[in-house]
Amino acid sequence: MQTTRSTVRDDILRAVGDAVWGPSVHNTQPWRFGVAGTRISLRADPDRRLDVADPDGREMLISCGAALYTLRLSLRALGYAPVVTMLPDPTRPHLLADVDLEPGEPADRQTLLAHAQIARRRSHRGGFRADPVPPEVLDAVRYDAGHEGARLIEAVDPHVTNALAALTDAAEHVQQRSPAYAAEIARWAPSPRTSRQDGVQERAYPQTVPQTTPNFAARDFARGHGWGVPSTPDAEAAGVVLLLVTPADTPSDWLRAGQALQRVWLRATESGLSVALHSQAFEVPELREFIRARFCAGGRPQLLLRLGVADAEALGTVRRPVEEVVTEET
């Protein structure tokens, strides 16, 4: 592939423009990108870390890992072979990855299909129809997670599903009792009157409190804003419940979890499915340890996903402009 400097620069901006559409906890978008020639450096933005819910930055790095996978995918779709070095400098913990652009082959059909889902992917915050998830899709997302160094464990036993729902609900109640947590949620739930390009906007949250069977508690971003109304009378299905786990619990594992999450999510979107995420129980250390010991088969739990066919159309979201997250470097 022959390229000019201006073409490479344009392609880098296109790829970063895709990367910012990766999922992030509370839509905090905790990333920055440095550009020097044909190298893109991904950095965490600690000012966007959730100090109360995520003091160790685990979810921040999962979010950045999702952006990293999206960046890799976009570069492959543009005909490059991205070479990724994760955590290249131990003295700079916020430098998460260097991505060097090498000439590659034209993108294959699967790469282009996955790339087409980047702007379509949305967080689902409700229940699902009773439609079953095709076994071949479950096989595919398990493969995708494994290819990125993580693993998906399905909660097949109804007792396990009920237990995970109860733990999620318990964590939500514990967190809501904390004034500091409530203030943090409020920070990332912008008022409908603002035009912020981050946080969970009004149009990204259903206007009724979602209920599922069993009930997986949703984040209460609507509290204090008057968005929500009482829950719908008929509960929907919870969908296929999956635990995303990694072999260990280091920053590199968190980055791999994020890459696996986005790869799985894009595959699900391509298959006509929606994904709901729950991290509440993983933000309460005692509950996360209980889940690890009881349900993770030796892995370290990072997130809980629910997969299924949603009743409603995907809700809206916003992203910061590319120029706000890109820095020129020498």
Determine how β-strand 31-36 pairs with β-strand 300-308. Answer: unpaired
Mean pLDDT of 129-137: 94
311 against 209, higher pLDDT? 311
Q: Which helix (H) or strand (E) holds 260?
A: helix 251-270
Strand positions, DSSP E, 63-206: 80-86, 95-103, 151-154
Q: What is the pLDDT of residues 261-315, one digit of tens each?
A: 999 999 999 999 999 999 999 999 999 999 999 999 999 999 999 999 998 776 6
**Is the separation of the CB atoms in 272 and 323 below 8 Å?**
no
Q: How many CB atoms lie within 10 A of CB 1?
A: 12
pLDDT at 176: 87
Determine how β-strand 240-246 pairs with β-strand 151-154. Answer: antiparallel
State yes or no: pLDDT of 99 exceeds 70. Answer: yes
- What is the rounded radius of gyration, in angstroms, for the C-alpha atoms of the chain? 19
What rounded mean pLDDT belongs to the chain? 90
State yes or no: pLDDT of 228 exceeds 70. Answer: no
Tell me the C-alpha distance between 217 and 268, whole Å: 22
Tell me the C-alpha distance between 182 and 17, whole Å: 31
pLDDT at 224: 41
**Is the separation of the CB atoms in 38 and 8 below 8 Å?**
yes
pLDDT at 214: 78
Q: 3-state class of 93 per DSSP?
A: coil
Q: What is the pLDDT of residues 2-38, one digit of tens each?
A: 566 679 999 999 999 999 999 999 999 999 999 999 9
